[in-house]
Amino acid sequence: MRATRLVVAYATLMLLAGGAQAADHITIGYSTTLTGPLAVEGEQMVNAFSLALEHLDNKLGGLPATLVIADDQAKPQVGVQNAHRLLERDKADLLAGMLLSNVTEAILNAVLPEGAAVIASGGVPAPYAGKDCSRNFISTFWNTDTPYEQIGLYLKRQGIKRPYVIGLNVQPGRDALNGFKLGMGGEMAGETYTRVDQSEFASELTDIRRVAPDAVVWFNPGGTGIAFLKQYVQAGLINSVPLYGMTIQTDESKFPALGDAAIGVKSVGNWSPELDNDSNRHFVAAYRAKYGRLPTTLGAMAYDNALLIDAAVRAVGGDLSDKAKLVAAARRADFASVRGKIRFNNNNVPIQNFYLNVVEKGPDGVLRNKLAATVASEVSDPHAKDCPLTW
Amino acid sequence: MSAAFVLAQLLNGLQLGLMLFLLAAGLTLIFGIMGLVNLAHGSFYMIGAFVAATLQAWTGHFALALAGGVGAAIILGIAVESALLRPLYRRGHLDQVLVTFGLILFFNEATRLLWGSGGLSMQPPAVLASEIQLLPGLPYPSYRLAISGVGCLVVVLLSLLLGRTRIGMLIRAGARDHAMVSALGVNIKLVYSLVFGLGAMLAGLAGVMTGPIIAVEVGMGEAILIQTFVVVVLGGIGSVKGSFVAALAVGLADSLGRAFLPLLLGGFLAPTTVSAVAPAAASTVIYLLMAATLLWRPQGLLGHRR
């Protein structure tokens, strides 16, 4: 009886107080892929996010934080189920993480109309970077078209005339290669899309040999991408036709499976372990000490994800009730990104630099991505102009 | 389009066919002779590749890796057969599918626990790491030719084993009427274990041989399982020779579809339409081939009518 009365009294107090109320605790619903070929990427994300929490004394914006992790199995419908469970059963204050952009899109479709906040580190689906951009969603990563647009602009500057593009026959694959065409302009020497379950590329490689392009641009971030790269190298093409893709296809998490086939592969990314700023040095050294290897790009984005939430919660004084206000605070937040200072575009996607990385074997016999050049600075993604939001 | 290009694509098709055959041979033996639907066939393929990649990383020898990978698949196959699958022979296919599907999940998670989720890398042996100039303007990776050679060797050896030896005779008799063979005093359980071990061995061999050209990763067996079933059904369930013919047909249809459909469609469609239509069309070619063949011969190319 006494307990009930206490609860009623407390509830009345809360009602009377009304409006802004600092929470005493924050729960993060973390969605990523932990089974299947992408599990290795999801693990890096969870590692990096947990490391950031450790660095923040398990607090986000001063509030004690609980991390609830859910595996989306790389399936949109599972991701949506998880998102509902995280928000309703686990009472998550916001959703974070996210890996595959088609899973993210399904989750956003389901939770944004309900007013949930999503502060993620996954690829931003094209619609949510453009016309469907939302006040409740922000990501530390990129829209996948953007690095490919930058590859296109870079290759054009390098005097490439006849590029050949090959990508997975899924929407992100087509978006990415369209981004490349946007940057490159002109005609492609060839264009091929491969099945998601295809691990044999002899036909496609023979076609590349027939066309004899001056560069090949590829999109295949899954396990079959490893097969593609190995076969490209074994066919001897790597020495005659340079291969370009995004760095997450050929970084730390792929090296065990690629082995020396990765040496000399060029890629464009938004982060490198070699970036010279305090936050990055601290992150890379701590990650290496704890997990015995260099972090990946997706790991770095997940680390930024935690720092961004921390800064946003601090900025709203711990009031987690107004989700749009929380996300607005995130986009203005002054946080020590591992990419140095970044700011967000009107569509809540970072405006950031892009770098050219080349895989090389260090003197210790370990593969690493060498930061070779800055490809472009302060880049906006191609969809931002379609986003109606103003701030 | 030069003759060398067409020739190279034909070779690609044959080569893919022989790779598929390595996997299908074991599946059709188990399916045809024991009447067992073994969805976990791809797991033996995966275990073979993982063990081989590990051994190659430790010792640097491809031959040792090959022996270890194939050996591991055999041991695992016989262990699974005697411990789990024996009670299932009398049960329906649905029970078998349920248990062997469970095995896929089990082996995937076990592999992840043992080796992590990052996958492993495997290299071709040093002597086969380069390319061979087959004809002027037609270079071909020599390791791929080696895979084709192993595929041809397997079909010859299997035909000899099944058609010309005593154990082959028992296997064929067991497939026709296992109760009668058993009544004649033959230990039919042992024969079944041998067949299953042989099937697992072929899967392991396929895993080791394809390891250097694909990604050795958890779940690699499932990606290729559907095409393998297409080969087994198309060739006629239980017929090794049928599987061989069907594997070549599927390999050729798939490779040539991917290679020539875009060029063919490019003759009368706009480039953007071609890039949208061709991949989808190419991926249906093998299923159209299967559907057409089964309409004409429901028992498969070389299968027996039951």
Please say whether the beta carbons of A138 and A119 come within 8 A: yes
pLDDT for the residue A17 = 47
Average pLDDT over residues A178-198: 91
* Residue B129 domain flag: no
> A90 — contact with chain B (CB < 8 Å)?
no
Chain A residues closer than 8 Å to B284 by CB: none
ipTM of the complex: 0.88
Position A214 confidence tier, pLDDT thresholds 50, 70, 90:
very high
Is B231 inside a domain boundary?
Answer: yes
pLDDT-derived band at A106, boundaries 50, 70, 90: very high
A127 at interface of B, judged by CB pairs closer than 8 A: no
Q: What is the 3 state secondary structure string of chain B?
A: CCHHHHHHHHHHHHHHHHHHHHHHHHHHHHHHHHCCCCCCHHHHHHHHHHHHHHHHHHHCCHHHHHHHHHHHHHHHHHHHHHHHHHHHCCCCHHHHHHHHHHHHHHHHHHHHHHHCCCCECCCCCHHHCCEEEEECCEEEEHHHHHHHHHHHHHHHHHHHHHHHCHHHHHHHHHHHCHHHHHHCCCCHHHHHHHHHHHHHHHHHHHHHHHCCCCCECCCHHHHHHHHHHHHHHHHCCCCHHHHHHHHHHHHHHHHHHHHHHHHHHHCCCCHHHHHHHHHHHHHHHHHHHHHHHHHHCCCCCCCCCC
Contacts within 8 Å (CB) and 24+ apart, A105-108:
A105/A76, A106/A76, A106/A77, A106/A79, A106/A80, A107/A31, A107/A72, A107/A76, A107/A79, A107/A80, A107/A83, A108/A134, A108/A137
For chain B, say whether A202 makes contact (Cβ under 8 Å): yes
- Rounded Cα–Cα distance for residues A212 and A210 (Å): 6
Kindly report the nearest CA distance between residue A204 and chain B, in angstroms: 7
Size of interface A-B (CB pairs under 8 A): 117
Among A194, A203, A234, the residue with its CB nearest the CB of B12 is A203
The reply to whether A237 touches chain B by the CB within 8 Å rule is no
The top-scoring range by mean pLDDT among A262-276, B24-38, B268-282 is A262-276
Contact A236 B122 (CB under 8 A): no
CATH 3.40.50.2300 domain extents, chain A = 24-142+276-344, 145-269+353-379
Would an 8 Å CB–CB cutoff place A321 in contact with chain B?
no
Find residues 22-41 of chain A whose CB sits inside 8 Å of chain B.
Answer: 36-37, 39-40
**Which DSSP string do the residues of A297-346 spell out, in sequence order?**
HHHHHHHHHHHHHHHHHHHTTT--S-HHHHHHHHHH-----BTBS-EE-T
Chain segment A64-83, per-residue pLDDT in tens: 999 999 999 989 999 999 99
Q: Which residue has the higher pLDDT, B176 or B47?
A: B47
Residues of A in contact with B123 (CB under 8 A): 259-260
Could you read off the pLDDT of B192-236 as tens digits, one per residue? 899 999 999 999 999 999 999 988 988 888 878 888 999 999 999
Q: How confident is the model at residue A1 (pLDDT cuts 50, 70, 90)?
A: very low
B16, B117, B131: residue with CB nearest A200? B16
Are the beta carbons of B188 and B174 closer than 8 angstroms? yes
Question: pLDDT at residue B164 above 50?
Answer: yes
What pLDDT, in 10s, does the model give residues B48-76?
A: 999 999 999 999 999 999 999 999 999 99
Does A240 reach chain B within 8 Å, measured CB to CB?
no
Q: In the predicted model, what is the mean pLDDT of residues A293-299?
A: 94
Domain count, chain B: 1
Q: Which amino acid is at A315?
A: A
CA distance B25 to chain A (A): 19
Dist CA A206 CA A217 (whole Å): 16
B interface test, pick of A178, A200, A209, A226 with most B CB neighbours within 10 Å: A200
Give contacts of A37 with chain B, Cβ < 8 Å.
119, 215, 217-219
What does the block give as tokens for B99? 């248990």
| Structural domain includes residue B263 | yes
Q: By percentage, how much of chain A surpasses pLDDT 90?
A: 77
Q: Give the strand order in the sheet containing A59-60.
A: A59-60, A63-71, A26-32, A94-97, A118-120, A137-139
φ, ψ of residue A316 in degrees (nearest 5): -95, 10
How many Cα atoms within 13 Å fall on the side-chain side of residue B108?
22
Structure tokens at B289: 């081939």
Nearest to A259 among B19, B123, B279 (CB): B123
Contact between chains at B217 and A204 (C-beta distance less than 8 A):
no
Supply the pLDDT for residue A10: 52
Closest CA to B287 of A168, A195, A50, A33: A195
Q: Does domain A24-142+276-344 match CATH 3.30.160.20?
A: no
pLDDT per residue over A315-333, tens digit each?
Answer: 999 999 999 999 999 999 9
Substitution target in B2, B214, B225, B256 with the highest count of A β-carbons within 10 Å is B214
Q: What is the pLDDT of residue B160?
A: 93
Q: Is A207 on the interface with B (CB under 8 A)?
A: yes
Band (pLDDT 50/70/90 cuts) for residue B1 is: low
Give the type of residue at A198. Q
Write the class of the CATH domain A145-269+353-379: alpha beta
Top mean pLDDT of A132-141, B174-183, B228-237 is at A132-141
| Chain-chain contact of A40 with B117 (C-beta, under 8 angstroms) | yes
Tokens of A376: 């472009």
In angstroms, the separation between the Cα of residue B148 and the nearest Cα of chain A is: 14
- C-alpha dihedral sign at B215, B217, B221, B224: negative
DSSP A209: H
Range of the domain at B89: 3-122+144-296
Averaged pLDDT of chain A = 91
Per-residue pLDDT of B75-106, as tens digits, reads: 999 999 999 998 888 888 899 999 999 999 99
Mean pLDDT of all residues in A178-192: 93
DSSP helix, strand, coil percent of chain A (3-state; round to 5): 45, 20, 35
Chain A hits for B216, Cβ within 8 Å: 257
